[in-house]
Structures are given as structure tokens and as C-alpha cells.
Chains A and B, each alone.
Chain A
Amino acid sequence: MITQNEHLDDLKEIRTIMERSSRFISLSGLTGVFAGTLALLGALSVYLYQQDYFLGRYFNRGIFDRSQLLSAAEFRSLVVFLLLVAFIVLVLALGFGILFTTRNARRKGLPIWDSTAKRMLINLFIPLVAGGIFCLALLYHHHIYLVAPATLVFYGLALINASKYTLNEIRYLGITEVILGLISIFFAGYSLIFWAVGFGILHIVYGTTMYWKNERVNR
């Protein structure tokens, strides 16, 4: 009987080692909650900065009115503002993400910077960098209304790619982001709202789920 229990323990240990050595499991759900909140604040600030442009001006219900077009200078300042907000949101979200994930890893007694973390990040950043350059090119060609859908689609693809090396929830988050991004291309006038849903609300929802499922239990 003793040997049977030993065998069972062996199998259990094998399963945890396989899981632990191939996937980065310390990713904290709080990362998503904070990133989502920051994204909502960012989207709100863009909306307040130039609300007409996103909801009315560009797709002005089929009525063309010359006075509603943005001047070149206005357009340039909008692009600068967008990039600034995006940069601040990115830096803060990354900072909080690293903080929470490090804390989570320490609590689980796992190394934070190991081969699984590296592998996850490399696979995340390949589609993400490609998407980033693609979006800069869109801005360069003044297709600003396509930037929000493109960020959603590329970000979703990046998550799907990285999900092979981390928690399973990330895969479903990625698929949802891609679908949302694809829908928003057809409703370009509302891209800021789609963006806020994708980067804000979805992050908060998935982050909370991940936190409840994976982290609260360990306390």
C-alpha cells in the first residue's frame, strides 16, 4: 500500500514539474486589473482631448462638412497626444505588472526570471513589435482611425502566441481581443470605445478571474 501512495506522489510531482518547467505561472491577475484601469483612464483622456474627432467628425453620419475636418496642425498635435498617452499607459502598466508578478512569484517560491519567463516574453513581443511598427506606419500615412483596431488585433495575436508558455486564460483573452479588433475595423468611428473595452474592460474582467482562480486560493 505504501508503494502505491509513493507511485501516486511520483505521478503528481511529475505533473507539477512538467507544468512548472514549461509555463510561466507566476503571472499575476492584478497586472490585468491595473493595466485595464490605466487603459480606461488613457482612453478617457483621449476622449476628453478631442471627443468630436473620434465619434463624430471622422464619420460624420455621411454628411461632408469641410469645417469638421481637422487641420494639419490639429492632426499633428492629436498624434503627439495619442503617442504620449499610449507611452505613459504602457510604462505604468508594465511597471505595475512587473511589481505584482514578482510578488506573486515570491509568494509561490518560484524564480521570477527563468527560461519560462524569457520564452513567454519573446513570444509575446514578436507579434507585438510587428504590430507596433505597423501602427506607426498607419499614423505616418494618416490612417489614424485604423490604429485602435490594429492595436487590438496585434495585441490579441501576441497574447495567443505567448499563451503557450503561460496561463491558459491568456489564450482566451487573446482570442477575444482579436475578435473585438476585427469588429471594430468595421465601426471605425467608435474605435476609441472598442479600444477602451478591449484594453480596459477585458483586462479587468480576465485579471479578476485569474486572480480569483489562481491567487486567492494560495493564501
Chain B
Amino acid sequence: MKELIGNLNKNFESRVRLGIMSVLMVNDWVDFSSLKETLNVTDGNLASHMKALEGEGYVEVKKQFLGRKPNTTYRATLEGRKAFEEHLAALESIISSNK
């Protein structure tokens, strides 16, 4: 049991981070405001979690201007995808071992 929990990735413990990664797994580049809308979170909340995931190298950030408005888009890195898949596998094995 202990070993199973050890496979969970600490970086994905928050609900918001799980949400972010879920969106990025099935999309290519996603901009900040659509992420915010999908996950129903505040700007500050999303930004701080995004920064953390970026620090881990799980997401990649692209900042550009659409006309005059700044537009920030995100994409899951290969490393991030792998880490998230491992996390999901760990979640699944915990659930199935307790059945």
C-alpha cells in the first residue's frame, strides 16, 4: 500500500493541477482564459499553479501578442505527459487494489 501511494506524483496533488493537466493532455496549445473557463478557477489561482507546473518542466509557455492584447498559451511537455500518465496509473492501481 505504501509503495502504491509513493507512486503518486506530489506535483499533481491539487485539484486545479489535475484539471490543468487533463485539459493539456487532450489539446495542443490552450490559452489562459479558456483554461480558466474550463476549470472555473480565478486568475491568481490558475497562475500560481501554472507557475509551479512550469517550474517542474511539465508545461511549456508561449507568450505573444494578438494585436495589442497579450496572449499566453500553454502546452504539456513530453515530460509532463509522462509524469501525468504515471500519476493516473498510480491512482488506478490504488483503486483497484482496494476493491
Contact = CB atoms under 8 A, between A and B. Distances in A.
Given A8-B95, A114-B34, A13 B26 contact: no
Give the size category of A's interface with B.
10 to 19
Interface stretch (A15-23, A33-41, A82-90): A15-23
B65 to A, nearest CB: 19
B88 A22 contact: no
B26 A21 contact: yes
B83 interface: no
A22 B59 CA distance: 18
Give the size category of B's interface with A.
20 to 34
A2 to B, nearest CB: 11
A7 interface: yes
25 contacts: A1-B98, A4-B95, A7-B91, A10-B15, A11-B88, A11-B92, A13-B18, A13-B19, A14-B18, A14-B19, A14-B88, A17-B38, A18-B23, A18-B25, A18-B26, A21-B22, A21-B23, A21-B38, A22-B26, A111-B37, A114-B37, A114-B38, A115-B27, A115-B30, A115-B31
Given A1-B98, A17-B39, 6 more contacts: A11-B91, A14-B88, A18-B25, A21-B22, A21-B23, A115-B31
